[in-house]
Amino acid sequence: MKQKQVHLFSSDFWEKEVEIIERKILEDIQLEGLNCSIEKAKKSEFYGEKLKNIKKIKNFEDIEKIPFTTKDELLKHSPFSFIATDLKNIVRVHSSSGTTGRSKYIFHTQKDIEIWADLVARCLYMVGMRKDDIFQNMMSYGLFTGGLGLHYGAERIGALVIPSGAGNTEKQIELMRELKTTVIHITPSYLLYLAHYMEEIGLSPSNDFNLKIAIIGAEPHSENTRKKLENIFNINIFNCYGLSEMNGPGVAFECPYKEGLHLWEDNYYMEIVNPKTGKILEEGEEGELVLTTLKREGMPLIRYRTGDLTKIIKEKCKCGRTHRRIQRIKGRADDMFIVKGVNIFPSQIETVIMEFPEVDKNYQIVIDRKEGLDILTIQVEIKREFFKGDINELRNLQEKIREKLKERILVTPVVELIEPGTLPTTTGKAKRVIDKRRL
What are the pLDDT digits (tens) for 393-434? 888 999 999 999 988 888 889 999 998 888 887 666 677 888
Asked if residues 57 and 31 have their Cβ atoms less than 8 Å apart, the reply is yes
The rounded distance, in Å, linking the Cα atoms of 369 and 383 is 30
DSSP of 357-393: TTEEEEEEEEEEEETTEEEEEEEEEE-HHHHTS-HHH
- pLDDT 10s per residue in the chain (439 long)? 566 655 555 558 999 999 999 999 999 999 999 999 999 999 999 999 999 999 899 999 999 999 999 999 998 998 899 999 999 999 999 987 544 457 889 999 999 999 999 999 999 999 999 999 999 999 988 888 889 999 999 999 999 999 999 888 999 999 999 999 999 999 888 898 899 899 999 999 999 999 999 999 877 778 888 998 999 999 999 999 999 999 999 999 999 999 999 999 999 999 999 999 999 999 999 999 999 999 999 999 999 999 999 999 989 999 999 999 999 887 766 677 878 767 787 878 888 888 898 888 888 999 987 766 778 999 999 888 887 777 888 889 999 999 999 888 888 899 999 988 888 876 666 778 888 876 5
The rounded distance, in Å, linking the Cα atoms of 118 and 132 is 18
Residues shown for the chain: 439
The rounded distance, in Å, linking the Cα atoms of 275 and 392 is 45
282-331 confidence digits (pLDDT tens): 999 999 999 999 999 999 999 999 999 999 998 999 999 999 999 988 77
Map out the domains of the chain as residue ranges. Answer: 16-23+106-332, 336-438
Asked if residues 381 and 359 have their Cβ atoms less than 8 Å apart, the reply is yes
Asked if residues 139 and 167 have their Cβ atoms less than 8 Å apart, the reply is no
| Closest of 404, 368, 434, 428 to residue 219, by C-alpha | 428
8: three-class secondary structure by DSSP: coil
The rounded distance, in Å, linking the Cα atoms of 211 and 207 is 9
Spatial neighbors of 250 by CB under 8 A, at least 6 apart, are: 116, 119, 120, 122, 123, 149, 153, 240, 242, 264
Spatial neighbors of 330 by CB under 8 A, at least 6 apart, are: 220, 286, 309, 310, 345, 347
What pLDDT is stored for residue 315 in this prediction?
93
CA-to-CA separations, 171 to 59, 178, 263, in angstroms, rounded: 54, 10, 34
Taking CB atoms within 8 Å and a gap of at least 24, the contacts of 101-104 are 102/75, 103/75, 103/143, 104/71, 104/74, 104/75, 104/79, 104/244, 104/245
Asked if residues 176 and 200 have their Cβ atoms less than 8 Å apart, the reply is no
| Closest of 381, 417, 382 to residue 399, by C-alpha | 417
Beta bridge partners of 185: 137, 215
Supply the Cα-derived Rg of the chain in whole angstroms. 22
Element spanning 424, H or E:
none
Q: What are the DSSP E strand ranges found in 175-303? A: 183-186, 213-216, 236-243, 248-254, 261-263, 268-273, 287-293
Beta bridge partners of 96: 104
Tell me which fold the domain 336-438 belongs to. GMP Synthetase; Chain A, domain 3 (3.30.300)
DSSP secondary structure code for residue 263 in this structure = E
The rounded distance, in Å, linking the Cα atoms of 89 and 213 is 37
* Class level of CATH domain 16-23+106-332: alpha beta
